[in-house]
Amino acid sequence: MNEVDLNINPTSGSAQLKKPLVILGILLLSLIFGYTIGNYGLNIGIILSGSLLFVVYFAIIILYPQFGVYTTIATGFVLLGISRYIQPDLPIGFLIDILIILTVVAMFLHKFPKQIDWHPAKKDITLLAFIWLMYCALEVVNPEAQSVAAWLSAIRPLGFYFFMFVVFALMYLNTPKRLKILFRIWGIFSILASIKGIIQLQVGLDAWEKAWLDSGAAQTHVLFGRLRVFSFYSDAGQFGANQAYTAVVFSILFFEEKKLKEKIFDAIVAILGFYGMAISGTRGALFIPFAGFALYLFHKKNIYLLTIGMIVGLAIFVFFKYTTIGQSNYNIRRMRSAFNPQDPSLQVRLENQRKLRIYMATRPFGGGLGHGGVKAQKFVPNAFLANIPTDSWYVLIWVETGIVGLFLHLFIQLYTLGKASYLLMFRLRDPKLIAMMSALSSGMLGVMLASYGNAVIGQLPTSLLIYSSMAIMLNSNTIDKYIRVNLRKQNLSSRYTLRLSKNITPALHTMTENTQ
């Protein structure tokens, strides 16, 4: 588990890319592309340039497979938002699948012809992810299922992404340096998302965003004449929830960080995250900081801090539930409605769940993967489940995989949180790593609770962050040992250098005297 994979075997696939002939070939190819563009036009040039970029990208991830993981996560932030600017029917979501497959191929070529060392991926979370993937795969033979295409569209984000990002995180996001890069990518894209959201709110929408609203999205994104900001995410619900998730994670990192430069970055991400949550108008996102900070204070094992946190949380609850302070502000008024049990939208959801409960009573394995909610109308427009909105992530899991699938899904999540909390409270020693794990687990609990109101976990970019985090948290004990081994080596090296200097200095002094 090297910090940087520069010690590459000279016969490995990645080492071949460093040979002078390969570099010369790439340069020659660039000259050919330039000549072609100059003589045959820009369209051919664009195609060739794209091909060259693909070759360069693939070469980089062969050298550093973790780069493929980073770029896939980064793509998840903007992918669905990009669809507003291109042909609507284009299956752009498959780009994530392509990046995953490229990263898998690069994993094999990285050490070729040697075999991959799968030891880092042999963890309990890998087994759980594989069991879940197999359960989702078996849903294809569910007697209630009517469409293989619906199953295929659902198993990718629900089972395949989960399993692959668990493996990726265990194999390549397994050192402090790489975790820091992950947090940097996460933070930077969240900042950009907030800035884009502020532009939408204060400056206005561009032509493509207006067209998206006019095509039907305005029904849920323009309420009482006010825009629910969605930034470059799929919708306002995902934007608000992910920004709240980010705000919790980076707030905890801010509290625990000692370096000023790092604290400033964490503070900016957290503040903009909370602001993004507010302007999204996503009511369910409000429960993410409630749950997240509660778990963080529990991790601290400090009764004094826990008591203060409970008092603050109670005060915020009273503010929204029992007062009308700030009611003239749209965002406060919108969030306050989340605490109203008589809210019309909540009543509609409860009524839908009552209908589903009757239907699901005789279907323990669900109605078929990809067959739940209005999204399924693309494949099975006349199916019963496709004509009742699920809204909640857990209701979606329930209707598609049954009570058996819901139990398995919840068990995996709760097992991950429970073990992660145990490790960081009683096993980990490195303070920075403890802070990271506390931030990830606290954010995950918040997202889990928010997913009862919206399908947060299963959508980009939150899904990839959650899947990676689950593996990182359950691999934290291994990362902690890695840190301690490196520190021990550094201490031994320092002691050896000091001892050597003590022995050499007198000898040099004697030699100098003899020379004189």
DSSP-based three-state secondary structure for 193: helix
Q: Provide Rg for the chain, Cα atoms.
A: 26
DSSP track, 239-303: HHHHHHHHHHHHHHHHHH---HHHHHHHHHHHHHHHHHHHHHT-GGGGHHHHHHHHHHHHHTT-H
Q: Which two tokens stand for residue 31?
A: 């000259």
Does the pLDDT value for residue 415 go beyond 90?
A: yes
The model's confidence at residue 165, banded by pLDDT at 50, 70 and 90, is very high
Which of 299, 292, 202 is CA-nearest to residue 247? Answer: 292
Model pTM score: 0.84
Strands annotated E in 21-121: none
Work out the average pLDDT over 252-259.
Answer: 92
> What is the number of helices (H) and of strands (E) in the chain?
21, 2
**Residue 316: which residues within 8 A CB-CB, separation 6 or more?**
290
Interhelix angle 161-172/65-82, nearest 10 degrees: 140
> 4-18, 105-119, 464-478 — which is least confidently predicted?
4-18
Give the model's confidence band at 1: pLDDT under 50 very low, under 70 low, under 90 confident, else very high: very low
Contact 126, 478 (CB under 8 A): no
Average pLDDT, integer, range 407-419: 95
For 257, half-sphere exposure in the C-beta direction (CA atoms, 13 angstrom radius) is 18
Residue predicted with more confidence, 191 or 84: 191
Over the chain, what is the mean pLDDT?
A: 83
Q: Has residue 344 got a pLDDT over 60?
A: yes
Do residues 388 and 350 lie in contact, with contact meaning Cβ atoms separated by under 8 Å?
Answer: no
Range of 276-290, 300-314, 409-423 with top mean pLDDT: 409-423
Within 10 angstroms of residue 185's Cβ, the number of other Cβ atoms is: 16
Q: Would you call 515 exposed, middle or buried from its count of C-beta atoms within 10 A (0-12, 13-18, 19+)?
A: exposed
The most confident of the ranges 2-16, 283-297, 298-312, 438-452 is 438-452
Helix, strand and coil in the chain, % to nearest 5: 75, 0, 25
Contacts by residues 88-92 (CB-CB < 8 Å, ≥ 24 positions apart): 88/215
- SS3 at position 227: strand
- Look up residue 1 and give its two tokens: 């588990």
Q: Which two tokens stand for residue 200?
A: 């939408």
> Distances in Å between the alpha carbon of 71 and those of 62, 76, 80?
13, 9, 15
Lowest mean pLDDT, pick from 184-193, 222-231, 267-276, 302-311: 302-311
CB 444 within 8 A of CB 418: no
Say whether 401 sits in a helix, a strand or coil. helix
Task: Supply the DSSP symbol for 361.
Answer: T
Least confident residue range of 39-43, 54-58, 78-82, 388-392: 39-43
User: 226 has which bridge partners?
Assistant: 223
The DSSP secondary structure of 23-76, one letter per residue, reads HHHHHHHHHHHHHHHHHH-HHHHHHHHHHHHHHHHHHHHHH-HHHHHHHHHHHH
